[in-house]
């Protein structure tokens, strides 16, 4: 159902159905230019999505350590893959699969741990601009 929550889609269609929707939407939005898209953490699981990102986007992988992820997710109960069990263990298991995929498609890897939002934003903007200019010159 369009406009349904992630939890509802997972309940009705499972993770596979959610990933198919995610892939279709990614293909749709990557036709536009000059935009920032924040994908979900599992977007890289689909080979087709990785291919789309690699061909049509400048991909920045914002790497966040486990402790910071746990802090950010402390009050978030809307993520089906983290709904039960030990969140730290689940996040580590997800990272083991996803991190290499993000690293394989990323044009830039940015470590955000220990940075407040304003410092991270400035550093990331500078690194994106530098990497983008290098890519355009190549």
Helices vs strands, H then E, count in the chain: 5, 2
Read off the pLDDT of residues 5-38 as tens digits, 9 standing for 90 and up.
887 888 888 888 888 888 888 888 888 777 888 8
Read off the pLDDT of residues 33-78 as tens digits, 9 standing for 90 and up.
778 888 888 899 999 999 999 998 899 999 999 999 999 888 888 8
88: nearest Cα among 102, 76, 73: 73
Q: What single-letter DSSP state applies at residue 23?
A: H
pLDDT for the residue 72: 86
Q: What is the mean pLDDT of residues 70-98?
A: 89
pLDDT for the residue 45: 92
| Domains of the chain and any CATH numbers | 6-137 (3.40.50.300)
């Amino acid at each position: 159902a369009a406009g349904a929550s992630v939890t509802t889609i997972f309940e009705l269609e499972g993770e596979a159905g959610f990933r198919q929707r995610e892939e279709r939407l990614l293909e749709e939005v990557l036709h536009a230019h000059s935009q920032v898209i924040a994908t979900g953490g599992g977007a890289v699981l689909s080979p087709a999505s990785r291919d789309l990102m690699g061909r049509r986007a400048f991909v920045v992988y914002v790497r966040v350590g486990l402790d910071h992820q746990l802090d950010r997710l402390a009050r978030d109960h809307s993520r089906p893959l983290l709904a039960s069990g030990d969140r730290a263990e689940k996040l580590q298991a997800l990272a083991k699969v996803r991190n290499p995929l993000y690293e394989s498609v990323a044009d830039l890897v940015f470590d955000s741990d220990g940075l407040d939002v304003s410092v991270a934003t400035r550093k990331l903007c500078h690194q994106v601009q530098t990497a983008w200019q290098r890519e355009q010159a190549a």
